[in-house]
A and B are shown apart, each in its own frame.
Chain A
C-alpha cells in the first residue's frame, strides 16, 4: 500500500501537514515564551500531534512527534540538550514516548470511527433493502390472498405449506386446519394417487398447465377443477415444493352439459319440425301429379324441385349445426371402394348432362371410409364444377392410389378463382358469383361441409386455380386403419339409405 502512488501522495501530504502544524505550534510557543518562560516546553506540540494524527494518520502523527522534538531542541529558547543535561533528555524522551502513544491512539480512534460509520451506512442500506423486499413480499401475499383462484403451496412430500383465502372458500378448510396436512385430504376416492403423479412431474422441473381433474371439498362435494402447478425453488435453484393454482370449473362444466342438451334439442327440433311439413308437401305433390292435367304438371314439378332444394338445405344446416356445435360431422367408416363411389356419382351427373364428365381411376382405391359421406363430397364438388366451370366443357374426375392415401381430384375449365378467395373458399356462407348461380342461391355451405367431411376422415382438401389449368379441388384421404379410427373419435352412426343404381365398377 505504501508503495503505490496514492499512498506516496497521501504520505507526502501527511509530512507537509506535520511540518506545518508543528511549525505553527512552535511559533505560538515561541511567542508565549516571555509569559511561560521555560515551563511546559512541549505544551503546544500535543494539539498539533493530535490534529495531524486524526486527519493524516499514524505515520504523519509520528513524524509530527519527531519534528516537535527537533524544533524543541533547535529553536526553543532555553531548551538545550547540552545545557539542561539529564533533565532535558528525560523530558524529551518522555515527550517522544507520550507523543507517539497519542499519535497511535488518535490514529486508531479515527480509523475506528470511520469503520463504525461505514458499518452504520452498510446497515442502513441493508435495512432499506429489507424494507423493499418486505414490501414486495407483502404485495405478493396480498395478490395471493385476493386471488379468485385457490392457491396452495406444498412441499415435496405433499404437505400443505401455503393456503390462501380462496382455497378456504373452495375446499372449506381454514388455513390453520390445512397447513401441515397432506394434500391427500383433497383427493376423491377414485383419484387418491393423482397428486403423486403431478408432484413427480413438478419435482422433475416440469410445469403442469390447466390439468382438468376432480378434487374433494371438506363437505364431500366433488369439484371439477383445473390445476396449474409449477415448481418452487430455493435460493440455490433446488426444487423444494410446488405452487398450485386451483380453478373451480364445476359451473363451467355444468353450463357445457346444458349447452350440449340445448344443442341436441335444437338439432332434433330443426330436423323433425322442418322435415315433417316438407314431407307432407312432397307426398301431396306426388299424389297430385298422378291426377293433374298436362298444364299443371309443370307447376307441380317446380314445387317438387323447390321442396327438394329445401330438403337439401335442411340437411346442410343440420351438418353445419353438428360440425359447429358438436364434435364435427359424424361419420360411419366401413370397408369401402372409392372406385364404386366415383362411378356412381359421375353416373348420376352423366344422366343429367350426358358427356360432360370424364372419369379416370388408377390403382387400389379401397380403404375404410363412410361411402355415403364421400359420395356427398364428390357430388358437391361436381355440382360446383358444373355450376362455375365453362359451359359445355367436360369436368374431369380422377382418383388414384398414393401409397397410404387415395387422392381424388375434380377439375373444371373456366374463369379462375381469384387467389385472394382461395384461403376462405371453405368458410361457411361463402357463395360464388351471383350470375353463376343463375338466380338460384344456395346457403354457401357446400364446400364447408365438404371440408368437414374430409377432415372427419383425417384427410385434407385443397383448391388451386389458374386461367390455363382451370380449377382443381384435390382431396387426399388416408385409408384409415383401425387405430386411426379409434383416435379420431368418429362415432358410428346407424343410417339406412335407399339403394341407388350403381352402373359398373372398375
Chain B
C-alpha cells in the first residue's frame, strides 16, 4: 500500500489484515521502491498518485525500468487523477477513486492475491 496520508494508510492496513492478507505500507514511491529492492514481492500494489518525494507517475516509470519488478500488478487508488492521464502500467489492476468502493476493491484484491 503506497499512500502518504497516514490515516488512510493505517485504515487500509487494518482492513487488509482483518481480511486475512499480508500487507506492508510505504509513505511514497521512493519508500515503496526501497521495499521492493530489498526483496519484497507483493501480489498487488495499491498506489496513490499525489505523494511527496516520489509521486505515483514517477514510481510507475521507475518500476517499468526494472524488469524484475515491472510485472507486478498496480491498482491506482487516488482522490484525483481526472485532470492528468493515469500512469502507464505493464500490469493494470484498475483505478479506484476515493472514497473507495470497497466491495469492488476487495474483489480486485481477491483476484490478484489468492
Q: Does A176 contact B (CB under 8 A)?
A: no
Contact A271 B79 (CB under 8 A): yes
Residues of B within 8 A of A307 (CB): 99
Taking CB as reference atom, which chain A residue is nearest B86? Answer: A494
Contact A278 B98 (CB under 8 A): yes
Taking CB as reference atom, which chain B residue is nearest A311? Answer: B99
Taking CB as reference atom, which chain B residue is nearest A277? Answer: B7
Q: Does A287 contact B (CB under 8 A)?
A: yes
Among A32-40, A129-137, A374-382, A495-503, the one that faces the other chain is A495-503
Contact A279 B79 (CB under 8 A): yes
In whole angstroms, how far apart are the Cα atoms of A494 and B49 in the complex?
A: 15
In whole angstroms, how far apart are the Cα atoms of A494 and B97 in the complex?
A: 12
Taking CB as reference atom, which chain B residue is nearest A498? Answer: B104
Contact A499 B100 (CB under 8 A): no
Shortest distance from the beta carbon of B42 to any chain A beta carbon, whole Å:
18
Shortest distance from the beta carbon of B95 to any chain A beta carbon, whole Å:
4
Q: Write the residues of chain B forming the contact surface with A, with a CB cutoff of 8 angstroms.
A: 5, 7-8, 10-12, 14-15, 18, 50, 79-83, 85-86, 94-104
Taking CB as reference atom, which chain B residue is nearest A291? Answer: B18
Contact of A268 among B80, B95, B97, B103 (CB under 8 A): B80
9 cross-chain pairs, A with B, having the tightest CB-CB distances, nearest first: A498-B104, A496-B95, A280-B7, A275-B79, A283-B11, A279-B98, A275-B98, A272-B79, A279-B99
Taking CB as reference atom, which chain A residue is nearest B48? Answer: A276
Q: Write the residues of chain A forming the contact surface with B, with a CB cutoff of 8 angstroms.
A: 264, 267-268, 271-273, 275-284, 286-287, 290-291, 307-308, 311, 330, 493-496, 498-499
Residues of A within 8 A of B97 (CB): 275
Residues of B within 8 A of A272 (CB): 50, 79-80
In whole angstroms, how far apart are the Cα atoms of A299 and B104 in the complex?
A: 23
Supposing A280-B8, A283-B12 touch, asked if A264 and B83 sit within 8 A by C-beta, the answer is yes
Shortest distance from the beta carbon of A474 to any chain B beta carbon, whole Å:
30
Contact B96 A276 (CB under 8 A): no
In whole angstroms, how far apart are the Cα atoms of A268 and B51 in the complex?
A: 13
